[in-house]
Amino acid sequence: MPDDLHIRQPDGDAGLRDWQHIHNVVIPTHPLSLSEVRERAQRHHLDIAYLGDEPVGCSTVRPPTEETRTATVIARVLTAHRGRGFGEEIYARGLNRARELGARVIETVVLSSNEDGLRFARKHGFVETERYLLPGDTIPWIDLRLA
C-alpha cells in the first residue's frame, strides 16, 4: 500500500464520523447525518482509509442482489490526497469484497461534477449506463458498469 495507508471498517461512532466527513466532502449535494451513516453501515460494507491517523478516503460496497448478482463499489478520496494511489487501494479492496460476496456484475455511481471520480471509473473499465437527478438535486448522478 502507498505510504502509511491502512484501510479498515469503522469501529464505533468515531470511525463512522470519519466516514461521514469524507462522504459529505466528496458528495456535498447529498450530506448524510450520523444516524443515516449508522443505518447505511447495517446494509452496506463501509471502509475508511487512513494515512497515519488522518482519514483520506472511504468506500461503500452495496452487496450483490440475489436476482442479478450486481454489487455497487464506490471509492472516495479527499481532493488533497488524490493522485497518490489511495483510490487504487480503496477500490481494489471494495472490488475484492464485492466478489467475495458473490457479485458477478460490478457497478459504481459518481456525481457528475466529480471529474476526478469519473476519470478514475473510466480508467478502470467502467462505462456509463445512466444519468439521472434525484428529487431536489441539480447535479446529475452517473451510474457506470464495469465492462
pLDDT tens figures, 86-118: 999 999 999 999 999 999 999 999 999 999 999
Residue 147: other Cβ atoms inside 10 A? 9
CA atoms within 13 A on the CB side of 114: 25
The answer on pLDDT for 59 being more than 70 is yes
The alpha carbon of 80 is separated from its chain's Cα centroid by a whole number of angstroms, namely: 17
Please answer whether residues 101 and 64 qualify as being in contact, where contact means their C-beta atoms are separated by less than 8 angstroms: yes
Mean pLDDT (whole number) for 13-17: 97
Please tell me the predicted confidence (pLDDT) of residue 136.
Answer: 87
The alpha carbon of 47 is separated from its chain's Cα centroid by a whole number of angstroms, namely: 9
| CATH number of this structure's domain 5-146 | 3.40.630.30
pLDDT band at 16 (very low <50, low <70, confident <90, very high): very high
pLDDT tens figures, 29-42: 989 999 999 999 99
pTM as predicted: 0.94
The alpha carbon of 142 is separated from its chain's Cα centroid by a whole number of angstroms, namely: 13
Mean pLDDT (whole number) for 3-25: 95
CA angle 27, 53, 34 (to 5 degrees): 40
Please tell me the predicted confidence (pLDDT) of residue 2.
Answer: 62
Please tell me the predicted confidence (pLDDT) of residue 1.
Answer: 58
CA dist., res. 106 & res. 61, Å (int): 10
pLDDT tens figures, 64-92: 988 999 999 999 999 999 999 999 999 99
Please tell me the predicted confidence (pLDDT) of residue 69.
Answer: 96
- Domains of the chain, residue spans: 5-146
